[in-house]
Amino acid sequence: MKNLSLTHQTRRDMLRSLGLGSAAVGIGSVLSSPRLSANTAQSASPGSRNPYIYAFTIGDLEAWSISDGFMIFGQGLKMMYPESERPAMKTALEDIYEPTDVLPLYINVLVVRSDREVMLFDAGFGIVERSDQGWLMEGLSEIGIQPEDVTAAFLSHAHGDHQAGFISPEQKPMFPNAAIYTTREEYAFWRQKDHDFSQSRRNPKSIPGMVKKAQERFEILGDNVQPTAAGARLFGGTVTIENGFGHTPGHALFRIESAGESLLHIVDSVHHHMLMFRDPKWSIGLDHTPKLAVATRQRIFAQAAQSRTRCYGFHIPWPGIGHIGKQGSGYTWIPERQWW
Ligand SMILES: [Zn+2]
């Protein structure tokens, strides 16, 4: 639950935002409004008027969901499998007024601050020319976090939308003081010489370039990368790296825990906020090992729905926080109310 108590700081902030001085009258009646109280609790974290920075809490931790922008796949349902189910997917998309000719995905970057660490979960596209991607650094700066302040970073997998942001335009580590945790399996896969993409539905022509980029980025990050066993609990149990294998050979999930609250970052075990929930067997053609990706998704969904776990997704509509509910033979994504 959110802590709705008011601190002096947030009280002052709220008065300022209302254009009232400290001597303002009628504070009591303003503060008695539950809606305003909840808003004020949110501003306990350095807030922002940038609509693509959302502040929230996980127990004692400050957290932000920062949008890095979005991406649109022009292939639409042609990149969804199994092929025979595309008509059913099309109907399901039409039912919720979603486009069927393109597949738009969001890029959500989770930032968490404890009293000791500034933690980043994946880094988006990095600094790019185009205006619809690469917003993370601006967002971090707006909440007062400089690149050198980041102490711990987590790389779920080495696809460009997650890893590219770890590299600066000068081809150096973007967050020089951050250890970058990734699974041993993910690291070993990209670092090896030969890569088995036999189960992947990717265009074979696109694979060598993707592998080369991932390898170059790992090379630049050097010793900052900390290959870590899935199941490892870091920072006194604040972050657990979990097995989310399938989307890539070592795709990681991250469970963040503090003071009895938790958030499960399901990263790319889901790409669309309806399709993969409606039927967890509906898969995107970007999965490295489609069968394993489906099995992993089914396991995560069943556990998260049963345990009512608060979740966070990298590609689902920003800010990407919500719950997974059981619905019929499948599931549904239940976005969490936003508290501004
Ligand atoms: Zn992704």
**Whole-number pLDDT of residue 27:** 34
Distance 268 CA to ligand 1 centre (A): 5
> Which region among 40-49, 128-137, 245-254, 318-327 has the lowest average model confidence (pLDDT)?
40-49
Distance 27 CA to ligand 1 centre (A): 46
In angstroms, the CA 53 to CA 316 distance is 15
- DSSP string of 99-162? -SSSEEEEEEEEEEE-SS-EEEE--TT-S-SSTTB--HHHHHHHTT--GGG--EEE-S--SHHH
- DSSP string of 235-279? TTTTEEEEE-TTSSTT-EEEEEEETTEEEEEEETT-SSTTHHHH-
Q: Which residues contact 177 (CB under 8 A, 6 or more apart)?
A: 148, 149, 150, 151
Distance 164 CA to ligand 1 centre (A): 11
Buried b (16+ CB within 10 A) or exposed e, 141-165: ebbebebeebbbbbbbbbbebbbbb
Distance 95 CA to ligand 1 centre (A): 25
Distance 197 CA to ligand 1 centre (A): 17
Distance 129 CA to ligand 1 centre (A): 19
The answer to whether the Cα torsion of 188, 124, 339, 31 is positive or negative is positive
pLDDT band of 202, cuts 50, 70, 90? confident
Distance 213 CA to ligand 1 centre (A): 15
Please check whether residue 214 is in contact with residue 225, taking contact to mean a CB–CB distance below 8 angstroms. no
Q: Which residues contact 250 (CB under 8 A, 6 or more apart)?
A: 157, 182, 183, 184, 185, 186, 187, 188, 189, 230
Distance 162 CA to ligand 1 centre (A): 6
Distance 301 CA to ligand 1 centre (A): 18
Please check whether residue 147 is in contact with residue 178, taking contact to mean a CB–CB distance below 8 angstroms. no
Cross-sheet strand order for the sheet of 179-183: 53-58, 61-73, 103-113, 118-121, 152-154, 179-183, 225-228
Q: Is the pLDDT of residue 177 over 80?
A: yes
Distance 325 CA to ligand 1 centre (A): 22
Distance 56 CA to ligand 1 centre (A): 23
Q: Is the pLDDT of residue 37 over 70?
A: no
Residue of 133 and 39 predicted with greater confidence = 133
Distance 305 CA to ligand 1 centre (A): 22
**Whole-number pLDDT of residue 46:** 55
Distance 5 CA to ligand 1 centre (A): 37
Distance 24 CA to ligand 1 centre (A): 48
pLDDT band of 167, cuts 50, 70, 90? very high
Please check whether residue 111 is in contact with residue 151, taking contact to mean a CB–CB distance below 8 angstroms. no
The answer to whether the Cα torsion of 279, 283, 289, 291 is positive or negative is positive
Distance 71 CA to ligand 1 centre (A): 10
Distance 11 CA to ligand 1 centre (A): 39
Distance 270 CA to ligand 1 centre (A): 9
In angstroms, the CA 11 to CA 32 distance is 12
CATH number for the domain formed by residue range(s) 45-335: 3.60.15.10
In angstroms, the CA 338 to CA 119 distance is 22
pTM: 0.86
Tokens in use for 225?
């990368």
Domain boundaries, the chain: 1-44, 45-335
